[in-house]
Amino acid sequence: MNTETLEFTPEVEAATRPIYERLRDLIPEVEWPVHAPLIARINELKKERKATLVVHNYQVPVIFHGVADYTGDSLGMAQYGAETDAEVIVVCGVRFMAETAKILSPEKTVLLPDLEAGCSLAASITGEDVRRLREQYPGVPVVTYVNAYADVRAEADICCTSANAVQVVESLNSERVIFVPDGYLARYVATQTDVEIIPWDGTCEVHERFTADELREYREGFPGVEIIAHPECPPEVLEEADFVGSTSGMIKHIAERHPERVVLVTECSMSDNVAVEFPEVEFVRPCNLCPHMKRITLPKILHSLETLEPKIELDPEIAARARRSLERMLEVGRGPGQG
C-alpha cells in the first residue's frame, strides 16, 4: 500500500486519541497526523490477519505504545507469541528475536518487517565458533546468552538471560563454563559466582559506547540522580551504577523505588517508553540509539501485515536443537527478564 493514501480522518483521530494522550510529552501534536493513520490501519489489519505484534523495549514510542500487543524483552516476546491463538507473529525487534519466536512457534508465520535488522552482538559469533571452543576446552559446558542466532543456540548446552545468567551458570555444577557471546555480561557474571568464566568477546554496539566519565558527569550535572545500568555495559560503567539489571529488572526497580531522577544506561528509546509509565520520575536521557532496532518502522510493519513478508524460516534440525537449549534454561528458571 502507498502510505500516502492513508488520511488523518476524524475517525482516525478519534481512534488514536487515547494513544496520543499517552505520548503527548514525546510527540509534537503537529506530527501526530503522520503517525495516526498508520497506527489505525495496522491495528485494523492485525485483526484481519489474526496477527499479534510483539514489541521490544527499544522500539520508538509510536510503535511501543501505538501498535503493540505485548511489550518487553525478546524471550517474553517469543513466549507471548507462542501462548496466543494468533496465526501470525510480527516481531518488532531484531532478527535473533524473530528467530526465538520461530523456535517457540514453528507452526506459526513469523514476520520481521526488515530482515536487515541485525545485532552486533549476535553477529559476533557463529555455530562454528562454538564448535571450535568445544575443541579448545573439551568437556566444558557452553552457556549462550539468548541474544544470539539460532545456530549458536543449537551448539550450546543451555541459554540464559541477563537476569538468570548466574543461576544458569551455577546450575551446571561445573568448575568452568564457556560463556558466549557477550564479553561484558560474561565478566559481570564472573564477579557474581565462583565458577570460572571463559568469555567470548562479543559486544553490543549500544552498551559498549557508555563510559564511566559520562556517568560521573551525570552525577555532577544532575544531583541525586540514580544510575541504572544494563550488565552488557563495560565493567567501569557498572562500577559507577547504583543498580545493575536486565531491561525488565530496570523497570521493576523504578516501580519499587520511584526515584525522583534516574538515568537508564541502555538504548535511549527505552527511557522514552518507560517515562510514559512513570510520569513522576524525571528521566535524564543518555542517547545511544540501536540502528538495527530503528530499521523497524510503522510503514514497514504495515507492509509486513499486508504482504505477510518477510518471513523467518529456520532449518528444522537447528531450530529443534536451539529449542532444547531454551527449554533447559526454562527448567532452571528464567528470572525476571533480559536484554
pLDDT of residue 247: 86
Cell of 98: 524473530
CATH (residue range 207-284): 3.40.50.10800
> Phi first, then psi: what are they for 88, rounded to 5°?
-130, 135
Element (H, E) at 195: none
Instruction: Decide: 304 and 53 in contact? Cβ < 8 Å.
Output: no
Q: Closest Cα partner for 25 from 280, 317, 211, 288?
A: 280
Alpha-carbon separation of residue 23 from 66, 216, 273, 274 (angstroms): 9, 30, 9, 11
**Residue ranges of domains in the chain:** 3-119+293-307, 122-202+315-332, 207-284
196-199 sheet: strands from edge to edge? 158-160, 142-145, 176-180, 196-199
Q: What is the pTM of this model?
A: 0.92
Determine the pLDDT at residue 311.
Answer: 98
Q: Where are the alpha helices (DSSP H) in the chain?
A: 10-23, 32-49, 61-64, 74-83, 95-104, 127-136, 150-155, 165-171, 183-190, 212-221, 235-240, 247-257, 268-277, 298-307, 316-332
Cβ 109 vs Cβ 88: under 8 Å: yes
What pLDDT is attached to residue 3? 61
The answer to whether the 122-202+315-332 and 207-284 domains have the same CATH topology is: yes
CATH 3.40.50.10800 fits 3-119+293-307, yes or no: yes
Model pLDDT, residue 333: 65
DSSP symbols for 129-180 = HHHHHHHHSTT--EEEESSS-HHHHHHSSEEE-TTTHHHHHHHT--SEEEEE
Task: Say how far apart CA 102 and CA 21 lie, in whole Å.
Answer: 34
Are the C-beta atoms of 76 and 51 separated by less than 8 Å? no
Q: In tens digits, what is the pLDDT along the chain, a chain of 339 residues?
A: 556 679 999 999 999 999 999 999 999 999 999 999 999 999 999 999 999 999 999 999 999 999 999 999 889 999 999 999 999 999 999 999 999 999 999 999 999 999 999 999 999 999 999 999 999 999 999 999 999 999 999 999 999 999 899 999 999 999 999 999 999 999 999 999 999 999 999 999 999 999 999 999 999 999 999 999 999 999 999 999 999 998 889 999 999 999 999 999 989 899 999 999 999 999 998 778 899 999 999 999 999 999 999 999 999 999 999 999 999 999 986 544 445
Distance (Å) of CA 272 to CA 69, 249, 266: 18, 17, 11
Distance CA 252, CA 323 (A): 28
Contact 59/269 with Cβ under 8 angstroms?
A: yes
Instruction: Evaluate whether the domain defined by 122-202+315-332 bears CATH number 3.40.50.10800.
Output: yes
Whether the Cβ atoms of residue 148 and residue 103 lie closer than 8 Å to each other: no
